[in-house]
Structures are given as C-alpha cells and as structure tokens.
Amino acid sequence: MGYVAIKGGGRAIEGAERVVDALRTAEGEHGTPLTLQTIEHQLRSLTSRVVSEGGLYHPRLAALAIKQMQGDTLEAAFALRAYRSTKPRLLEAPVQHTGEMRVIRRISSAFKDIPGGQMLGPTNDYALRLMRLDLANESPEAFRSVARTFLDSIDESDLPDTFPKVVDALRAEGLLPALQPSRTEPFDVTRDPLIFPVPRSAALATMARAETGSLLAIAYSNMRGYGDVHPTVAELRVGYVPVRLPHPVTGELVEAGEVLMTECEMVAMYEDDDSGGPPVFTLGYGACFGHNEVKAISMAVLDRSLQNGMRNGPTNPSEDPEFVLLHIDGVDSMGFASHYKMPHYVTFQSDMDRLRTTQQKAADKQTEQDAQGVEL
C-alpha cells in the first residue's frame, strides 16, 4: 500500500466547522434560534449537569455551551472548564454553610417525620414515565399559563427560611461520630495533581465535578453487591445556598449571591468507632452544583465506600480511591477516547511493519518445517 502526503488540512477543518454550524440551523428559514434563557430554564436538568461537571457555577454560560455544542454535555462541560481557566482568581470564599440553604426540595428516607417536615418540591419521582404527547404541540398561551396557575396557588408564608439538618439530630443522639475540625487546607483539584493517597477533600472535590454517568456506574456496583451495604438517605435537599465573600474594604462577610445545589447525606451500617467509643453509623456525603439528585446520591455512596477503603483497605473497585477518582472525570475520559480520532499514522505504520515482519518470519518457519517434513 502506498502513502501520499495529504494537503488542505486547514481548509478541511474549517469546512467541518461550517457543516456543524449548518446542521444547527437545519430548519432553514422557518427555524427559531434557541435563546440562552430558554435553554437555562426549560432544559434546567441539562444545564445543571453541565454546570456541575464544568465546575463553574454560571447557568447562562452553561446554556451557551449547550447551544454551541448542540446538547453534547461532555463537550459543553469541556468548554465551560476552558472558559474558567482563562479567568483570574480574585479571592477565595470562606466555608459556606448548607444549613442556610433556601430549600426547594427536602426528603428523608430514614424517617417518616423529620424536623421541619418532608417537602417533595420539584421531582418526577412519583410520576408515571409516560410520554406527554400534549407537549408536542404546546401553544405559547398554554405554556405561559402553567407557571401563572402554579404561582397563584401557593402561599410563600408557609415555607420557613431554613430547615434543621437530620444528621444533626442523629449526631446529638450519639448515632453518628462527632464532627472533627479539619486540620488541613482543602485540596484544590484545579491546581494540584492527584498523588495518592489523597485527603478526603480531594476525593469530594473530584467527585463534585465528575461525570454523572461515571459516578452512577461505580456507585451502582457498590449498591448492587460489591460493597455489601444498603445505605439510607438521611436527608436529600435541593436549594439555593447563599455565597458570602469578604468585603474589599471592611473584610466583613457580605452576601454576593446564591448558588443552586443538591446535597445528600447517606447513613449505612454501623461499625466500631476508631477512637474506641461506641459503635456508630457511617456517613457518606455528596454535593454538587445544580439540581442533580442521582449525582449527589452516587457521590455520597462512593464517599462512604472510599472512606472504608482508605481505613481498612479496598475490597472492591468502588473502595479503591485510585480506581474511582481517576476514572470518573468526564472531560478526562472524553479527551482520551477522542484522541484516538487524531492522526496516528506513524505509530500505526510501525505496527504494520512489525506485523508484516512477524508474519514473514512465521511463513518462513512454516516453509522450513514443511521442507523438513518432505525430506523425512
């Protein structure tokens, strides 16, 4: 087979980009471009996923990335991370307390009645998974009336500002280990490489911006039997957490805004306390940007299993920090898979040369053996 030099690569790449953009507008003259506001609010689960996996809380930019990448969540998260890397880090926020969350959804599967009460909030958990064909030809008037009718039916005075944490009640009863103040600075996964063993803060930060499907797959292996544990959701909450930053002049903390977050705290079978105290439940924690309950639950399951693996040694893949943390980042995984599409001409030609040489040696050996058989 002969090989020739390929020319015009730059023009081909430009043409490929034009084709992608043309497909985005394939509806032609009758098409209507998606607005960022439409993507952010009508595709809120998609926006939440990109915000979380991109590691930058900016729903409007996440909507832009979704529009640009035509719904590809991995590419959109990649674009969001790339954008974040170009921005200076002006300051670091102190620890933000999720107990101050302005809750829109809060449930517990551990107790029927919890302090403050269960609040189902926005969820598809209890709906039938049937196609709503009426949405196929939804009129603008019907679309706008949905929110108007809902807002007219609620009384905001019935909702408290905050809710107590379920795990605080368990901890007060001595069923969970007491909180221990951290003696180390939180690990910054955006600036420092993972060198094992890593602290828990590094694991949590890595999982917080991990790809949802990857987290779910490994957590499912733990839930299905490899971890030999059935955790229980002590509390799952979704809401807006106020972000407080130091004032540039006075240094006092002032509220600069709020971020939508999902938080999950899982409890599982008890074991002896390392300090020699009474047996207590083990606790797994998960939190991520946006409304993504599957990710937060998976993260909490893996946090608990990783703690067990770090303490007693891993007994399955979901307890191995190196296995888990190096295989859950969607941008890393996508980049490695996509690099196979790049030119590998030299290495593949080398592979072919070695294979041809091996085949020739095998053929020569067979010919020699056949000749010896004829002589005999």
State pLDDT tens for residues 80-116. Answer: 999 999 999 888 888 888 999 999 999 999 999 998 8
- Residue 197: cis peptide before it, omega within 30 degrees of 0: yes
Strand partners, 359: none
| 3 state SS of 366 | helix
State pLDDT tens for residues 234-292. Answer: 999 999 999 999 988 898 999 999 999 999 999 997 665 556 678 889 999 999 999 99
* Measured distance CA(272)–CA(211) in Å, rounded: 33
**Beta strands in the chain, from DSSP E residues, in sequence order:** 102-107, 232-246, 253-271, 280-289
Identify the band that residue 2 occupies on the pLDDT scale cut at 50, 70 and 90. very low
Question: Could you tell me the two tokens for 287?
Answer: 């939190």
- pLDDT of amino acid 266: 96
* Measured distance CA(285)–CA(300) in Å, rounded: 4
Question: Could you tell me the two tokens for 46?
Answer: 């998609």
* Measured distance CA(37)–CA(370) in Å, rounded: 76
Cα-based distances in Å from 6 to 2, 10, 16, 169, 345: 13, 11, 16, 69, 12
Quick one: what percent of the chain has pLDDT higher than 90?
Answer: 70
Is 267 within 8 Å of 137 (Cβ atoms)? Answer: no
CA 149 to chain centre: 34
Quick one: what percent of the chain has pLDDT higher than 70?
Answer: 94
State pLDDT tens for residues 140-180. Answer: 999 999 988 888 887 766 667 788 999 999 999 999 988 88
Minimal CA–CA distance to 164: which of 96, 125, 113?
Answer: 113
201-204's contacts with Cβ under 8 Å and 24+ in sequence apart are 202/325, 203/303, 203/306, 203/321, 203/324, 203/325, 204/285, 204/287, 204/299, 204/303
Minimal CA–CA distance to 165: which of 82, 103, 251?
Answer: 103
Is 188 within 8 Å of 205 (Cβ atoms)? Answer: yes
* Measured distance CA(311)–CA(203) in Å, rounded: 14
Minimal CA–CA distance to 282: which of 218, 335, 222, 327?
Answer: 222
- pLDDT of amino acid 5: 52
- pLDDT of amino acid 1: 41
Question: Could you tell me the two tokens for 364?
Answer: 């020569």
> What is the reported pTM?
0.91
Half-sphere exposure of 74 (CA within 13 A, CB side): 14
Side by side, the strands of the sheet bearing 253-271 are 102-107, 232-246, 253-271, 280-289
State pLDDT tens for residues 187-207. Answer: 999 999 999 999 999 999 999
Minimal CA–CA distance to 266: which of 301, 221, 237?
Answer: 301
| 3 state SS of 292 | coil
Is 205 within 8 Å of 186 (Cβ atoms)? Answer: yes
Question: Could you tell me the two tokens for 366?
Answer: 């067979």
Minimal CA–CA distance to 240: which of 376, 106, 86?
Answer: 106
Mean confidence (pLDDT) of the chain: 90
How does DSSP assign 224-279, residue by residue? IIIT----EEEEEEEEEEEEEEE-TTT--EEEEEEEEEEEEEEEEEEE--TTS---
